[in-house]
Structure 1
């Protein structure tokens, strides 16, 4: 409902803020007042008279406290801003107003940003804003920053507050003129990708400048500049999050690209004397991929005002699109090309690491008497570990299922599936339980405990970090033996040759003849890599481990990585959302993080161990 800026409206807004409530009110002609919670700053934008500028207005929507109005509303807006500033200055000791507008001058000499600040004593806040703006880097866009007097904001027909009023309220008034390179000057249409990128960078620069002002001038002491970001999330966010999760939950990708006739295919391959590639069969497709794509792109992501959440949702939509394309291309050559987009391939450095492991460990370990743990006994151990996780979070509800149509172990939607014919060495049981339960199930339910469902369905590219964590957990509990490392390295080599056009039989024979794998193991590796038409996912295990070891060497901590199914470069995003209290810390910890005996091993990893130090 649109509301006019009347005396009663202003009184209601200020009253809500004094009671520490969120304010979100629609103003005439598309205007909006959004104040997330009582904060010592306000960002505003006014549409020029008769010339709405929605592209520039979008910049302020990234902030926790903003007003979008019209120049024609200046008189009423001045009263509203004054009363908000007065109330918040009384609460925090000082207040800051930042007005954004598009620069009228579009000449080549016009700086991309022009900061308008006080003339007499240039406050540190202006310098911080200038410095942060200068650090923005956008390809093919020269970033220049100028500084001018804020006097035009303090006088004239469009001024909101006089200099005397600002002094009385301990209020700082800044302006920021943006050269409108983000829109077509002829048509007025925005360049959406540039606008989105610039908006994200500008929002961080503004928050850092506000953080400097708030920290020095007010009684408000945020722990981090991101803590000044939006906490209240508009209903569209939860709707979109739910829609994306719903589409993701309609198909189990790994199940649909895993052969259901592995045993029969192996027997047929043996009968052909390993000369004819086996034919694999898959589960029937439970969805119409084209219809799901239509639903996917009907989700109105443009309604998300928050740039961080907007990025997260666009990223997920892009991944779901690729997955659905892969499923529709299953058992065709195009499957491989989509897999390379989704899971990546094998770069030169990773191939060197894999070949180095296979050179350092040229032969499988000799086991005189391998003890195989019965499947039901292993399932019981897994159930015990699930009970341990549940003791930390009662809402955890999952289990273990033994199935004939599963080869080995697989976790899907937080549930562990065990192949009825799985051959699990007893000395690897604990490592595999930490891999499947202590990592995959744990991160699924840590993600489930978050408000955003994307953290349990998985952000795009989460598999690399997931598998890196899972393999590292094997090492921490003493179960990462030579054969396991050889297996992970062989998967990388097989993926490399797959992408170079190698056929099933050639990959199979190379693993036996060059790398000394037995026929059963070679078949399993080759089947996993060639399934569906070529799945490059198996390279992520070793790649994830290599990148995770580098992360620990650089001073990173393991615990933040367990908040859900995220990827490594999402850590700043997750941390930002925690600062903003959109997310909270993970409720469940794996056994190895709670075991004092394992801590020295974890500390040693931080000294800079590589994969070769694990051998």
Structure 2
């Protein structure tokens, strides 16, 4: 009843005028190779390289004092609390470990810590629309660090397609089978993607990762904003006019914490960049309508 009266929250993500998001997902899946790296990095260890120590090193680099805890019940690879990073109790790839540290620490924690330094609580809680755009900021930082590999791009695209299928009334089984048959996901990956999208009766949040990345990437590449502006708290692109007014009035301060990637926009080497993306996806990165 609530969905019929008020919608599901997916309408702005999958409106007829915004097909470029779905186009981008299909383009990624059609043109990126199916690759997976060996999982050799433990969540924590006293005598070898591990994700916990890497997270702490990234936090120290930007001046953040945080805790990193291994959570055996965590379904996601990693998640952040107010001052804590939670990581799954499993093995990680070396590339994946750096990407997770970049995403969670340089992305989410930096924005959260900066938000708590501002005089208005909304910067710590998040302005309207900030969830998707802050995911976009974190993924864009992955890209600038050269860590947005084909597996990660395929995962983002698969999340969007699974979410779209769920809101279109496709069954869990059919959505998972489609990811396997049409897009070469392994059965385990397809089930995991659909579990995320179908949980709790269905949610739209997994669609925001790809759309958020495209939105933020486009805005920064066009000079419409900067990563430092987007990380002075948990802010959205749509909130920037008001944020700038507060800045000009001296009511909001510039961010205290920033990674070198955000300070310089991070010049990538062999990592993800327009030249290494499918041609039509390069177009969609600049023409995607804001959602």
Secondary structure at the counterpart of residue 241 of structure 2: helix
**Whole-Å separation in 1 of the counterparts to 2:79 and 2:6:** 22
Q: How does 1:78-477 map to 2 (within 5 A)?
A: 337-340=7-10, 344-345=13-14, 347-361=18-32, 363-365=33-35, 367=37, 370-376=38-44, 377-390=50-63, 396-407=64-75, 408-421=77-90, 423-477=91-145
Question: What is the distance in 1 between the residues matched to 2:7 and 2:193?
Answer: 20
Provide the rounded CA distance (Å) in 1 between the counterparts of 2:6 and 2:155: 22
Q: C-alpha offsets along residues 76-106 of structure 1, whole Å, 9 cap, x if unaligned?
A: xxxxxxxxxxxxxxxxxxxxxxxxxxxxxxx
Contact 1:507 1:526 in 2 (8 A): yes
Alpha-carbon shift at residue 595 of structure 1 (Å):
6.6
Deviation at 1:448, TM superposition (A): 0.4
Q: Moved runs in structure 1, 4+ residues, more than 6 A?
A: 332-336, 604-607
**Measured at CA, do residues 430 and 523 of structure 1 come closer, stay the same or move farther in structure 2, by a change above 3 Å?**
same
Map Cα deviations across residues 122-146 of structure 1 (whole Å, 9 max, x no partner).
xxxxxxxxxxxxxxxxxxxxxxxxx
- Aligned Cα root-mean-square deviation (Å): 2.9
Q: What per-residue deviation string (whole Å, max 9, x for no partner) do you get for residues 185-227 of structure 1?
A: xxxxxxxxxxxxxxxxxxxxxxxxxxxxxxxxxxxxxxxxxxx
| SS of residue matched to 1:525 | helix
Q: Is the 8 A contact 2:27 2:280 kept in 1?
A: no
| Distance of aligned partners of 1:462 and 1:383 in 2 relative to their CA distance in 1, 3 Å threshold | same
- Aligned equivalents of 1:567 and 1:548: distance in 2? 9
Give secondary structure in 1 for the equivalent of 2:230. helix
Q: What's the counterpart of residue 289 of structure 2?
A: none
Residues 1:358 and 1:508: Cα distance change in structure 2 (over 3 Å): same
Match of 2:216 in 1: 548
Classify 1:451/1:481 alpha carbon distance in 2 versus 1 (closer, same or farther; 3 Å): same
1:584 aligns with 2:253: yes
Q: Deviations over 1:47-79 (max 9, x none)?
A: xxxxxxxxxxxxxxxxxxxxxxxxxxxxxxxxx
Counterpart in the other structure of 1:508: 176
Note closer, same or farther for the CA distance 1:600–1:505 as it changes in structure 2 (3 Å cut). closer
Normalised to the residue count of structure 1, the TM-score between the two structures is 0.41
Higher mean displacement: 345-354 or 566-575 = 345-354
Q: Give the Cα–Cα distance (whole angstroms) in 2 for the partners of residues 613 and 499 of structure 1.
A: 27
The structure carrying a bigger strand percent of its residues is 1
Query: What does residue 61 of structure 1 align with?
Result: none
Question: Equivalent of 1:566, from 228, 231, 235?
Answer: 235
Three-state SS of the structure 2 residue aligned to 1:585 is coil
1:484 Cα deviation from its structure 2 partner: 0.8
Q: What 5-or-longer segments of structure 1 have no aligned partner? A: 1-328, 391-395
CA contact (8 A) 1:495 1:539 kept: yes
Distance across 1 between alignment mates of 2:26 and 2:274: 25
- The alpha-carbon distance between structure 1 residues 334 and 562, as it changes in their structure 2 partners (threshold 3 A), is same
Q: Distance in 1 between matches of 2:143 and 2:35?
A: 17
Greater RCO (Cα-Cα under 8 Å, separation 6 or more): 2
TM superposition shift of 1:541: 1.0
CA distance in structure 2 between the partners assigned to 1:432 and 1:397 by the alignment: 18
- Tell me if the contact between 2:68 and 2:85 (Cα under 8 Å) persists in the aligned partners: yes
Distance 1:357 1:336, change over 3 A: farther
CA separation of 1:427/1:594 partners in 2, compared to 1, >3 Å: closer, same or farther? Answer: same
Work out the CA distance in 1 between the residues paired with 2:201 and 2:157: 21
Residue deviations 1:553-605 (CA, integer Å, cap 9, x gap) = 32132211111111111111111001111111110111323579x3477xx97
For the residue of structure 2 that corresponds to 1:479, the secondary structure is: coil
Preserved CA contact (<8 Å) 1:336 1:536? no
The answer to whether the 8 A contact 2:52-2:68 is kept is yes
For 1:548 and 1:559, the matched residues in 2 are separated by: 12
Q: How many residues align?
A: 270
- SS state at 1:402 partner: strand
Distance 2:7 2:170 in 1: 15
SS in 2 for 1:517: coil
SS at match of 1:513: helix
